[in-house]
Amino acid sequence: MFGYFYNEVLRRTVIAFGTLFNNITIKHLDGNNSAVSVMKVPLAYGPTQKFLARIEQNPNLNKPTQITLPRMSFEFIGLTYDPSRKVTQTQTFLTKKTSDATSVKKMYMPVPYNMEFELNIMTKINDDALQIIEQILPYFQPSYNVTVTLAGDINEKRDIPIVLDNVNFTDDYEGDFSTRRSLIYTLTFTAKTYLFGPIPDATAGVIKKATLDYMTNLDTKNPRRELRYSVTPRATQNYVGDATTYLSQDVESDSRYIIVQDAAALTTASYITINSEELYIESIDGNNLVVRRGQDGTIAESHVNGSGVNVLNAADDALIELGDDFGFNETTSFFQDFKQFSPTEGTDV
C-alpha cells in the first residue's frame, strides 16, 4: 500500500520556524544611554533542560555572557491533524516537477497538520529577557505568515501561519549563592503546515502503448499471415481545463458545422471537447470548423454561444487517470468477426 517518498515537509517547516528568531540582538547601555555592548542572541535546537544542565555543571562560566546566557532554544514538540482546514479527499490540483517543467502532474490536495513548537528564552538579567520578548511579540497578532517551499520537487510554496499560543515565565533563583540565576520565558507556537503525498510519475500505472499480434497456426502449404494492431492511448476528456477558444454561435446536436471566436490554436485531425461532448476536427476554414460529433462514446448535444472549446493535447494525455479506458471500450471488428471461429489444422485465416 505504502511506497517510499520523502518531501521533507516537516524538516522544512522546522527550519522556517527557527529562521524567524536567528537575528535577535540585545544592547547594554551605560549611564549616558550609550551602547556599551551589542550581542546577537545564540539560537539552537534542543530542549531547555540540556542548556540548564550545562549552566549548573559549571556555574563560573559567566564571562563573556554570550557564551552561556542569554540564549534561546526551540524544539518541535507535537503534531496533530487539523480538521478545520480539511478539503475533499478526492480534490486534486495541477503541478509540474522542477526537473521536468514540460510535464504536467495531477496531485491530491495536501493534508493539514499543526506542528507545535516551544521557544525558550534563557537570560541572567531580566532586562535582557524583556528586550528579546519585545522583539518577538509585536509580530504575532496572534499569527505570522511564513512562505515555505514545502515540496521542493514541484516547487510548491505555501503560506504557513505560525500562531503564538502562550507565554510563560519562570525564575529558578533557588539554591545557594553558587547557583546561577536563570530567567526563562517559554513561548509556545502552532505552525499550520500541510503534508503532501507522493509526487506521481507520468508513466506510472498508465499504458502508453499496446501492441497485439495475431498469427495463424503454422502451415507448410500456405504462407503465414500476420496481423498487428497497435494503439497509443490518448485522453478522451479535458484534464487541464483551459478553454482554447469559445463558440461564437449556438450549435445544434445534429450539426457538423461550428463557428468559433478564434481558430488560430486549432488544427485539423485533432480532438476537442465542448462541455461533455468530444468532437473530431475534419477541416478548418477561417473560424469555421467541420467536425465529427459524439466521439469515443460521448453524446452529441446542443451547445450555446460562448461555450468553451478545449483542445485535447499532450498536456491532457499526461494527466490520464488510472482506470480511463482511453475510448477503447469495444472489441475490434477483427475479433468480433473471428471470436467464434476455431481454426483447425491446415486452415489459413
Could you tell me if 166 and 96 lie in one domain? yes
Residue 44 lies in a domain: yes
On whether both 243 and 176 belong to a single domain, the answer is: no
Higher pLDDT, 272 or 90: 272
* For residue 100, pLDDT beyond 50: yes
- Percent of the chain having pLDDT more than 90? 34
Residues 34-73 pLDDT 10s = 888 888 998 888 776 655 555 555 555 444 433 467 889 9
**Cα–Cα distance between 248 and 262 in angstroms, integer?**
9
* Model confidence pLDDT, tens digit, residues 214-252: 555 555 555 555 555 555 667 787 777 777 899 999 999
Confidence band for 106, pLDDT divided at 50, 70 and 90? low
My answer on whether 191 and 261 are in the same domain is: no
User: Cell digits for 202?
Assistant: 507520468
CB atoms closer than 10 angstroms to residue 215: 11
Question: Whole-angstrom Cα distance, residue 239 to residue 293?
Answer: 20
3-state secondary structure of 154: helix
Contact between 183 and 122 (Cβ < 8 Å):
yes
286: left (phi over 0), alpha (psi -120 to 50) or beta: left
| Spatial contact of 106 and 200, defined as CB atoms under 8 Å apart | yes
Q: How far apart are CA 116 and CA 49, in angstroms?
A: 18
CA dist 173 and 183 (Å) reads 8
Highest mean pLDDT among 45-49, 195-199, 289-293, 323-327: 289-293
Shared-domain flag, residues 114 and 37: yes
* 17 φψ region: left (φ > 0), alpha (ψ -120 to 50), beta (else): alpha
The helix (H) or strand (E) run that includes residue 128 is: helix 126-134
Mean pLDDT rounded to a whole number for the chain: 76
Same domain, 183 and 41: yes
Q: Does 143 map to a domain?
A: yes
Of 195, 222, 251, the residue at which a domain comes to its end is 195
113 has a pLDDT exceeding 60: yes
Closest CA to 247 of 234, 220, 266, 269: 266
CATH number, domain with residue 240 = 2.40.33
Task: Give me the CATH number covering residue 55.
Answer: 3.30.2000.40
The answer to whether residue 200 is domain-embedded is no
Query: Domains in the chain: how many in total?
Result: 2
Same domain, 248 and 148: no
> pLDDT at residue 272 above 50?
yes
214, three cell numbers: 495475431
In angstroms, the CA 328 to CA 120 distance is: 63
51 by DSSP, 3-state: which? helix
The C-alpha atoms of residue 15 and residue 152 are separated, in whole angstroms, by: 14
Average pLDDT over residues 68-84: 89
Mark whether 249 and 155 lie in a shared domain. no
Q: Provide the pLDDT for residue 192.
A: 94
Q: Is residue 204 assigned to a domain?
A: no
In a shared domain, residues 67 and 165: yes
For residues 335 and 262, the model is more confident at 262
Q: Confirm whether 333 is domain-assigned.
A: no
Is residue 46 located within the same domain as residue 155?
yes
How far apart are alpha carbons 61 and 309 in whole angstroms?
75
Q: Which of residues 170, 195, 220 is at a domain's end?
A: 195
Residue 168 lies in a domain: yes
Domain that holds residue 304: 235-321
Q: Express each pLDDT in 192-221 by its tens digit.
A: 999 988 876 544 444 555 555 555 555 555
Last residue in a domain, options 146, 170, 195? 195
Strand partners, 187: 119, 167
Supply 144's cell numbers: 505570522
Residue 248 lies in a domain: yes
Lowest-pLDDT range, 102-106, 240-244, 252-256?
102-106
Instruction: Compute the distance between CA of residue 125 and CA of residue 112 in angstroms, rounded to an integer.
Output: 40
Could you tell me if 28 and 142 lie in one domain? Answer: yes
117 and 18 belong to one structural domain? yes
**Residue 226 forms part of a structural domain:** no
Q: How high is the pLDDT of residue 330?
A: 41
**Is the pLDDT assigned to residue 332 strictly greater than 70?**
no
159 plus 18 within the same structural domain: yes
pLDDT at 278: 92
pLDDT band at 344; cut points 50, 70, 90: very low
pLDDT for 123-175, tens place per residue?
888 889 999 999 999 999 889 999 998 877 777 888 999 999 999 988 766 55
Find all residues with CB under 8 Å of 260, minimum gap 6, and list them. 245, 246, 247, 248, 266, 287, 289, 309
| Calpha distance 246→233 (Å, rounded) | 27
